Amino acid sequence: MTTDSDAKPSGIKTSLLGTLELALLMPQGTDRFSNDRDTALRSFIVPALLFPASLIAVYMSPGAMADTSTNTIALLYSLRLFASWVLFFGFVYWILREVGRMDHFYRFVTANNWLTVPATAIFIPVAFMVMAGSHTMAELYPFMLCLMGYTYFFTAFMAAHVLRVPLEFAGFLAFIAFAIDRGTTDFVQWVGGIL
């Protein structure tokens, strides 16, 4: 059930400010997101719009899918994105229902989807360095791991403050997000290697 304060509209400017605050580990960023179903569903537009940026990173990375057509890669990674959403939000929904913390689920979904903005933005310099030829992807891999760790950390921070749960519990949710992301990526690369 949402209250009037929970149902306030989350405009683009307000949501972007909330994502910046959460990426800087400022707890007030969670208050910038509505806790209603319609806003949560609309928030899936954000990662969908940023999806081409992740495809560019896939195309730049040499790997098991080097001989796979770009259309096949786009299709497989689109399916991977959808599967990740279903698995992660399904798991979060189930565990929150089990522990009696469903009152902020929609705010969590909205904030999590908007956090793809800073998560994508911090990888832009890496993409530019690789495209400019100043560094290879292999040289930047340790730096990318640090950036990836930071994105999972601010995701856990967001979960702790949105769901009002201990940081350990929120860290577990971030670990589940990582495991689902890794598992679906490995599966897609395996399938792409076969095709």
pLDDT digits (tens, 9 = 90+) for 153-194: 999 999 999 999 999 999 999 999 999 999 998 898 888 777
Structure tokens at 168: 């350990």
- Residues whose CB is less than 8 angstroms from the CB of residue 106 and which lie 6 or more positions away in sequence, other chains included: 2, 34, 35, 36, 37, 39, 40
**Numbers of helices and strands, H then E, in the chain:** 9, 0
Q: Are 113 and 120 in contact (CB under 8 A)?
A: no
* The pLDDT of residue 65: 60
- Residues whose CB is less than 8 angstroms from the CB of residue 135 and which lie 6 or more positions away in sequence, other chains included: 129
Judge if pTM exceeds 0.75.
Answer: yes
Share in percent of the chain as helix, strand, coil (round to 5): 80, 0, 20
Residues of the chain with pLDDT under 50: 1-7
The residue count for the chain: 195
At position 29, the amino acid (one-letter code) is G
Q: Are 119 and 151 in contact (CB under 8 A)?
A: yes
* The pLDDT of residue 128: 82
* The pLDDT of residue 111: 96
Whose tokens are 């307000």? That residue is 14
